[in-house]
Structure 1
Amino acid sequence: MEKIAALQLIMPAVAIVGVAGMFGWMFTTWLRVKNGYPLDGAWGQAIYPQRNEEMIERIKLLSQENAQLRAELGSVKDRLGNVERIVTDGSVALDREIEALRVTRN
């Protein structure tokens, strides 16, 4: 009986704290939306990121840099493939290729 009486005294306080927390969360969300701040998802990512001219320009520049780096990576892969072929080929085949290049140059 004493435990039930204690719970009856505590439960309204717990409910009030829970409702106050819920209204506080709703109020801060409203303030964020009103003032233009992006909302956060469960993992901290922006749900509604702002799109302004600076962000759009930054995305374009990063996309261009990404394309340049991909092209450079492709050429590095080609060069690495040639180096691997040179290292793994026999010296006789390498000598023939070098001589063939010298002949075509002259």
Structure 2
Amino acid sequence: MNPFEMVVAIIVVITVGRVLMARFGVVHSKHGEQVAFRDDGATKAENARLQEELRSMKERLAVLERLATDNDTSSARLDRQIERLRDPK
């Protein structure tokens, strides 16, 4: 590989890297090599939507855990009360 091909290859690699960084919203700060993700309106809206969905899923999981761990005494008691109401003695 001659020196000119190597220079072109380096430029292509750097360009592809910069395009990918721009595509995924990665930005560098002016003071060093810190990498941060871009915070624009669309990202914030998506984060809010995902947080709301996560909260909803946690609530549903709590209900399912409560149903799975409830002992049978409460349902059996309810069944007995329903049967008493059905049998008018």
- The TM-score normalised by the length of structure 2 is 0.51
- Alignment of 1:94 onto 2:69: no
C-alpha spacing 1:67/1:97, structure 2 compared with 1 (3 Å): farther
Larger radius of gyration: 1
Structure ranking higher in helix proportion: 1
Residue of 61, 84, 106 corresponding to 2:68:
84
C-alpha spacing 1:62/1:79, structure 2 compared with 1 (3 Å): same
With a CA cutoff of 8 Å and minimum separation of 6, indicate the structure with the bigger relative contact order: 2
Instruction: Structure 2: state its 5+ residue gaps.
Output: 28-38, 82-89
State the match for 1:8 in structure 2: none
Instruction: Structure 1: state its 5+ residue gaps.
Output: 1-16, 100-106
Q: How many residues align?
A: 68
* CA–CA distance in structure 2, aligned partners of residues 79 and 61 of structure 1: 28
Structure ranking higher in strand proportion: 2
C-alpha spacing 1:93/1:27, structure 2 compared with 1 (3 Å): closer
State the match for 2:21 in structure 1: 46
Runs of 4+ residues over 2 Å off in structure 1: 25-30, 47-51, 92-99
Q: CA RMSD in A?
A: 3.6
String of CA shifts for 1:54-101, please: whole Å, max 9, x gaps: x71210111111110111111111111122024xx22x33344786xx
C-alpha spacing 1:27/1:82, structure 2 compared with 1 (3 Å): closer
Percent of aligned positions that are identical:
6
